[in-house]
């Protein structure tokens, strides 16, 4: 990627990040729109997790990876420590793959 493109993207990113605090008091969003934007961010994050967990290349990733993600989700809801979540999710996936589950 050319240096000019990198600098342009960096400037655009900085401008977007700066626009929030600068325009905070000049632009009022209705409560319903603020709620919808919050929900939209959550939906996008869930879609990213689902896509990463369920697909590999152009196909289904198998059952071991989604099982590991499910274990991580359950442990997260139970407020387990992050290192424990990572280790148990990886162990779940590894054990299932060791047992021959794709």
Query: How is residue 57 written in tokens?
Result: 């290349």
Digit-coded pLDDT (tens) for 30-82: 889 989 988 999 999 999 988 988 998 889 989 999 999 999 999 999 999 99
Query: How is residue 35 written in tokens?
Result: 């709620």
Digit-coded pLDDT (tens) for 16-29: 999 888 888 888 88
The Cα 41–Cα 23 span in angstroms is 20
> 41 and 66 in contact (C-beta within 8 Å)?
no
Q: Going by C-beta distance under 8 Å and a sequence separation of 6 or more, which residues neighbour residue 60?
A: 54
The phi and psi torsions of 55 (rounded to 5 degrees) equal -125, 150
């Amino acid at each position: 990627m050319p240096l000019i493109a990198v600098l342009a993207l960096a400037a655009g990113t900085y401008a977007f990040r700066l626009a929030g605090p600068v325009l905070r008091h000049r632009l009022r969003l209705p409560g319903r729109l603020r709620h919808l934007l919050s929900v939209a961010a959550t939906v996008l994050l869930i879609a990213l997790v689902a896509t990463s967990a369920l697909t590999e290349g152009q196909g289904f990733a198998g059952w071991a990876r989604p099982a590991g993600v499910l274990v991580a989700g359950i442990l997260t809801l139970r407020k387990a420590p992050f290192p424990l979540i990572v280790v148990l999710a990886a162990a779940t996936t590894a054990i299932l793959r060791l047992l021959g589950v794709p």
